[in-house]
Amino acid sequence: MKSISLSNLPELLSAIAAKEALYLPVDTKEGAEYKAYAEGDSLSLACNTNRSAKDFFFPQVEDMAAFKVEGKKIEIIDVRKETEDFVIFGARACDVKSFEVLDRVFLADPVDTFYKNRREHSTVVALACSAPEETCFCSSFGIDAAEPQGDVSAWIAEGRMFFKPNTQKGETLLSALSALLEESDGAAVEKAKEETRTIMGQLPLQNLPTEHFKPEKLMEHFNDPKWKELSQACIGCGTCTFVCPTCQCFDIRDFDTGNGIQRYRCWDSCMYSDFTQMAADQPRHTQLERFRQRFMHKLVYYPANNEGLFGCVGCGRCLAKCPISMNIAKVMKALGGDK
């Protein structure tokens, strides 16, 4: 296992940034956020960032194509560009898992080339959690915060950061940095893992009921009378969907720039009333249906299409951010718990 003293971490970050684009969570006055590395930035040790890491692969807004319109004629311009190589340094286990959830949507046939392009050019250094919060519930979905996946797994223990490559991309990154890294045994890491798991075990939402959310129970859950009560205070904003690392619904829109048309895609939210609005009518008339759609999608629909993989990674952002504090943990307890 490779390692570096935390005091030398700035040098390591500089070395990566010298090679390719580097993004990492840094502390801001409003909590941790991912940003492009600038000399002097230090890695945030906050449990998680306000916005998720999905932005790197599925940004909130991206141009898809441009059109030149002249009279009756239209010309289509492909505006796609090859992404440069980049490193995401310090993503947590939940966010890393969310990439797998997104992969199954965007890399399914037909492949989304925008997403694939970014995915292929990225190297993810995942950092194990050392101070999880009360809103964390990744272990409910079988994610081990002490053993994050990604191209490289990293741990902080005893004043050092330890690295283990998991993929070819990870090997390449670490070997390029080998001059700064020392070889060390993994005893400290094992101890840190144990500590993290002990803390995880004390968190209130560690064992949310998941066993009830099976494809064969789709209609039973859909028709559950509890949706009415759960959804009644929902204000229909898109906070939960926009901070969610796995929400991937999008809208495609055209913008008339005055000298052409830009077709762009942007995040959309199933919580919005116009999400399914058609010219004449819409199938989800009230907030109840929209609210139900979001949670059914994460807990039942998505797993039904993806061998039981849940569409939630338990990062806890929606718990912290929902204006009315209604969230997936409460939904899971109401629907699947206490039985």
Partner 1 sequence: MEKEALIPEIGIVTDIRIDTPDVRTFRVVTPDGKKPFVHIPGQCAMLSIPGVGEALFSITSSPTNTEFMEFSIKKCGCVTSFLHSIEPGQYVTIRGPYGNGFPVESAFKGKDMLFVAGGIGLAPLRSVINYCRHYRENYGKIDIVYGSRSMQDLVDYNEIVEEWCKEDGISVHLTIDREQPEWDGHVGFVPNFVKELQFDTNKTAVLCGPPIMIKFTLAGLQEMGFKKDQIYTTLEMRMKCGIGKCGRCNLGDKFICKDGPVFRFDQLEELPDEY
Partner 2 sequence: MQKVIREKAIELLRSGKVDRVLGWKEGEFFYDQTPHLFLSPEEVERTFVYNGFSGANLSKYLVKEGLKEGVVAVFLKPCDTYSFSQLLKEHRIARDKIWAVGIPCEGKLDIELLRKMGIRGIKTIEEKGDELLVSTIYGEKTVAKKDVLAERCANCKSRKHVLYDELLGEEGEVLDSARFDQIEKLEQMTSEERFAFWQNELSRCIRCNACRNVCPACTCEKCVFDNADSGIASKAPASSFEEQNFHIIRAFHVVGRCTDCGECSRVCPQGIPLHLINRKFIKDINAFYGAYQAGENPDERAPLTNYSTEDMEPGDVFKKGE
Partner 3 sequence: MQIEEKFEPTIVAFCCNWCSYAGADLSGTNRLQYPANVKIIRVPCSCRVNPMFILRAFQRGADGVILCGCHPGDCHYTTGNYYARRRMTLLFSMLDFLGIERERTRVEWVSAAEGAKFAATMNDFVATVTRLGKNRRLEDLRCKK
Binding residues for partner 3 (CB under 8 A): 255, 257-259, 262
261-267 and 61-70 strand pairing: antiparallel
Answer yes or no whether residue 13 interacts with partner 2 by CB under 8 A: no
85 scored as a contact of partner 1 (CB under 8 A) = no
**255 contacts 262 by C-beta, under 8 angstroms:** yes
- Would you count residue 134 as binding partner 2 (CB under 8 A)? yes
In sequence order, what DSSP letters do the residues of 1-53 get, joined into one string?
A: -EEEEGGGHHHHHHHHHHHSEEEEEEEETTEEEEEE--TT-----SS--SS-G
In the chain, the amino acid numbered 89 is F
Per CB under 8 A, the list member of 83, 166, 239, 276 interacting with partner 2 is 239
Give yes or no for residue 106 binding partner 1 (CB under 8 A): yes
42 is a contact residue toward partner 2 (CB under 8 A): no
Residue 288 is a binding residue for partner 1 (CB under 8 A):
no
Q: Give, as ranges, the residues between 241 and 260 that touch partner 1 (CB under 8 A).
A: 248-252, 254, 256
Binder of partner 2 out of 167, 238, 263, 284 (CB under 8 A) = 238
- Is residue 38 close enough to count as binding partner 1 by CB under 8 A? no
Reported as type and span, the H/E element at residue 61 is: strand 61-70
Instruction: Report the DSSP beta bridge partners of residue 155.
Output: 162
Q: Is 184 helix (H, G, I), strand (E, B) or coil?
A: coil
Non-local (6+) Cβ contacts of 37 within 8 A are 13, 16, 17, 21, 22, 23, 24, 89
Q: Does 214 bind partner 1 (CB under 8 A)?
A: no
* d(C-alpha 71, C-alpha 219), whole Å: 51
Q: Which is nearer to partner 1, 100 or 194 (CB)?
A: 100
In angstroms, give the least distance from the CB of 143 to partner 2: 18
Residues that bind partner 1 (CB under 8 A): 64-65, 67, 69, 72-76, 78, 80, 82, 105-106, 108, 110-114, 117, 215, 218-219, 222, 248-252, 254, 256, 261, 263, 265, 268, 270, 275-280, 282-284, 289, 293, 296-297, 300-302, 304-305
